[in-house]
Amino acid sequence: MSKIETIGIFCKQKSAISEEVLKELTEWLRHKNLKVLMPPDSASILGETSDHSQESIAPESDLIIVLGGDGTLLSVARLTHSHHVPILAVNLGSLGFLTEIELPEMLSTLEKVLQGESVAEKRMLLKTTLRREGESVREDVALNDVVINKKAARIVNLEVLVNHQYMTSYRADGLIIATPTGSTAYSLSAGGPIIHPSMHALLLCPICPFTLTNRPIVIPDKSAIAIKLTTEEEVQITLDGQTGYPMYRDDILEVQRGTTPVQIIQATEKNYYEILRKKLHWGRPADDQKSD
């Protein structure tokens, strides 16, 4: 990681918690003579003004700090990934699979980052292209998942090709295409497996399939996926559970690994399995239980 002089901060507006944390963080950074950039909505939490738009923060920053939950991080990651700026995500009290750094750890972790003692893990993005009558009508990226689901209470038909080879046709409430990062999000609730974020894989997970033999499948991340809608149902494409738009009959959604990963700074004292145990409330080691 190169020398850090300018830090961009995105903060979720969350009453007194956000104001207190953001004030402590900005004062700490400015005391170290670091330049702080914030978009207007974050700056307003402190009663400050800003002439930087959300889009202009990343190109000028050496590090981005996200204060909030996973949803805040997902939106910032989609916004900033192309600028290769590492992200330090601090959890403001939500579940936080991605925002693994807790508030008491914020300044100590940041000190290590400034001293060059941190590690940024690269997380795969999904790149999507929606084609209508052979023409590209929309392109997007997602860090967690891309979901195709119905609007009405009826089953949709989706024809799936992988690397131009027909794989199957799903009759289901919808389909989730997830990264390893997103395997602990919506896909997990739909019965999909947990995939370690270092794995080079993509996950296809049907939502309530009509045929019970249609199970989630993990495929190589170099695969090119094409999903065609073959019914007239009202269908929505949703990116990371945040941005959505309609899909019509005979539209084709192409999904593949993005060219630019997101760099998320890891908490050096933790490991992935510890985070899973904590967030999913898995059992503790037998030795720990004996001491109760």
DSSP code of 182?
A: G
Bridge partners (DSSP) of residue 148 are 175, 237
106-114 vs 15-31: helix crossing angle, rounded to 10: 30
Tell me the average pLDDT across 19-39. Answer: 95
Handedness of CA 282, 286, 290, 291 (dihedral sign): negative
Phi, psi of 43 (to 5 degrees): -60, -35
Beta strands in 105-198 (DSSP E): 120-123, 126-132, 135-142, 145-150, 156-162, 165-172, 174-178
For a pLDDT cut of 90, what percent of the chain falls above it? Answer: 72
Average pLDDT over residues 92-120: 86
More confident residue, 38 or 271: 38
When pLDDT is averaged across residues 250-263 and rounded to a whole number, the result is 96
Q: Do residues 38 and 8 touch, judged by C-beta distance below 8 A? A: yes
Highest mean pLDDT among 102-106, 189-193, 284-288: 189-193
- Is residue 292 predicted with pLDDT exceeding 60? no
Mean pLDDT of the chain: 91
> What pLDDT score does 118 carry?
85
pTM of the model: 0.90
| Alpha-carbon span 158 to 228, nearest angstrom | 6
Q: Are 86 and 61 in contact (CB under 8 A)?
A: no
Q: Does the active-site annotation cover 173?
A: no
Task: pLDDT band for 290, please (50, 70, 90 cuts).
Answer: low
Q: How confident is the model at residue 273 (pLDDT cuts 50, 70, 90)?
A: confident
Domains of the chain, each with CATH number or no CATH: 6-123+261-287 (3.40.50.10330), 126-257 (2.60.200.30)
Q: Give the ranges where the chain is alpha helix by DSSP (H).
A: 15-31, 40-43, 54-60, 70-80, 106-114, 186-189, 272-280, 286-290
- Which member of 41, 51, 62, 70 is catalytic? 70
Kindly report, residue by residue over 44-84, the tens digit of the pLDDT: 999 999 999 999 999 999 999 999 989 999 999 999 999 99
243 contacts: CB under 8 Å, gap ≥ 6: 140
